[in-house]
């Protein structure tokens, strides 16, 4: 059965998800840019992202949120994390009351420290809260658009809605799993970008495979630490949204955040690297937000702090790396007791359904 679908955001990930959904559903894709919408409708191409991919006739582009959302039972959001609040505040009046809203956005809002689910809870009417689903996992947009085998996680506190999205999007080359640990899935999806920058820096400096493996492993520890401190389940970080996405983003050459790190490790200026990418690299602002979040939670995050110091020009990559390697020696299991104490705690304990998620 076809599900009328809207995709908010015509960047690379929004475009690839429109391609995915259009195999079985009527899709409206919203773009801020008139030239992008015109090109999609006229030429069946997005002129800025994935421009070599032909778009189905089932996809119709618009610059009007009302037109994109009217009558749509499934709404997929794929906009930059720091723009999510503004876009969804503008979209809110046009959402159908029973629509399922899927956030494919990976990041932490800088000003509030909220995950994307928390932002949506603050912006949207409570009627929508049970139907908020987070999509995350190892998934490069260009590979999804070209029907390369991909597996992702769909997280929702009310799992029945994740199962509905699973049925709508899954196909022989795109497999969805469901999960109820929303805070764990979103924390993993956001913070893996920070670790990918660190790995890119190390690789550019010829740090070697040993250093890459160490950064990824200890990076996963940091991500888990921050997630568990918010009520996430440690096991979530061993799944697709955790170690799966971390592996892809740290090692895949299509990763924008890895490329940010490669540039920084070669001594290039951040602004120059970002301008060259031509797309948002979520890890830059997420790094700054993650440092503040970790401090607020009382969680140690030395790799995240190292990346932040390099991004903000306070330390050179060599200085930050030396400082990281010469920290006080300790047991690898120092935090196991802390994790065990939190393992059976209610999920996302800061979440007040009436007020939204707070940290």
Same domain, 137 and 228: no
The predicted structure's pLDDT at residue 359: 30
Task: Tell me, yes or no, whether 257 lies in a domain.
Answer: yes
- pLDDT band of 245, cuts 50, 70, 90: very high
Looking at the fold, whether 337 and 304 belong to one and the same domain comes out as yes
Residue 288 lies in domain: 190-343
Say yes or no to pLDDT of 356 above 70.
no
CATH number of domain containing 207: 1.10.1040.10
- Express as a percent the part of the chain with pLDDT over 90: 89
Instruction: Look at residue 131 and tell me if it is in a domain.
Output: yes
Q: Are residues 148 and 194 in the same domain?
A: no
The verdict on 16 and 165 lying in the same domain is yes
Give domain status of residue 359, yes or no: no
205 lies in a domain? yes
Do 239 and 90 belong to one domain?
A: no
pLDDT of residue 256: 94
Let me know if residue 87 belongs to a domain.
yes
pLDDT of residue 333: 81
pLDDT at res. 311? 96
Give the pLDDT band of residue 280 (cuts 50, 70, 90): confident
Residues 29 and 122 occupy one common structural domain:
yes
Residues 176 and 318 in one domain: no
- What is the C-alpha separation between 40 and 344, in angstroms, rounded? 49
Q: What is the largest CA-CA distance in the chain?
A: 61
* Same domain (yes/no): 127, 194: no
Same domain, 165 and 204: no
CA distance 4 to 73: 6
Q: pTM to 2 decimals? A: 0.91
What average pLDDT is seen over the chain? Answer: 92
Q: What is the pLDDT of residue 281?
A: 79
pLDDT beyond 60 at 358: no
Dig out the tokens for 358 from the structure: 């707070």
- What mean pLDDT is predicted for residues 186-193? 98
Q: Is the pLDDT of residue 234 over 80?
A: yes
pLDDT of the residue at 2: 80
Residues serving a catalytic function are: 192
Average pLDDT for residues 150-164, to the nearest whole number? 98
Q: Are residues 112 and 196 in the same domain?
A: no
Q: Please tell me whether residues 121 and 41 are part of one structural domain.
A: yes
Q: Are residues 99 and 197 in the same domain?
A: no
Mean pLDDT of 89-95: 98
- Cα distance between residue 309 and residue 202, in whole Å: 15
Out of 147, 180, 213, a domain closes at 180
pLDDT of 89 reads 98
Domain count, the chain: 2
């Amino acid at each position: 059965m076809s599900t009328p679908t809207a995709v908010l955001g015509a960047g690379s990930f929004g475009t690839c998800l429109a391609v995915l959904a259009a195999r079985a559903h009527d899709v409206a894709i919203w773009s801020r840019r008139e030239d992008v919408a015109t090109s999609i409708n006229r030429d069946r191409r997005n002129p800025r992202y994935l421009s070599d991919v032909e778009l189905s006739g089932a996809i119709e582009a618009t610059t009007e949120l009302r037109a994109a959302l009217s009558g749509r039972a499934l709404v997929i959001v794929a906009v930059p994390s720091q723009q999510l609040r503004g876009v969804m505040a503008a979209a809110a009046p046009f959402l159908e009351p029973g629509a399922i809203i899927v956030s494919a956005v990976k990041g932490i809002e800088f000003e509030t420290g909220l995950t994307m689910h928390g932002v949506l809870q603050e912006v949207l009417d409570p009627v929508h809260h049970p139907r908020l689903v987070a999509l995350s996992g190892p998934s490069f947009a260009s590979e999804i658009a070209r029907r390369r085998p991909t597996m992702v996680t769909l997280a929702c506190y009310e799992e029945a809605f994740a199962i509905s999205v699973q049925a709508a999007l899954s196909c022989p080359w795109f497999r969805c799993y469901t999960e109820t640990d929303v805070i764990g899935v979103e924390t993993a999806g956001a913070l893996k970008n920070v670790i990918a920058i660190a790995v890119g820096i190390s690789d550019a400096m010829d740090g070697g495979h040993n250093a890459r493996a160490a950064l990824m492993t200890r990076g996963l520890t940091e991500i888990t630490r921050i997630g568990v401190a918010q009520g996430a389940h440690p096991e979530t970080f061993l799944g697709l949204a955790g170690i799966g996405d971390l592996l892809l983003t740290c090692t895949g050459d299509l990763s924008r955040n890895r490329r940010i790190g490669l540039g920084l490790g070669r001594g290039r200026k951040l602004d120059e690297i970002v301008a060259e990418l031509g797309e948002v690299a979520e890890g830059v602002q997420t790094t700054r937000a993650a440092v503040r979040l970790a401090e607020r939670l009382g969680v140690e995050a030395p790799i995240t702090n190292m990346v932040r110091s390099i991004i903000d020009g306070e330390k050179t990559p060599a200085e930050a790396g030396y400082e990281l390697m010469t920290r006080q020696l300790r047991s690898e299991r120092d935090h196991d007791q802390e994790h065990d104490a939190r393992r059976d705690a209610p999920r996302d304990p800061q979440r007040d359904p009436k007020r939204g998620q707070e940290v």
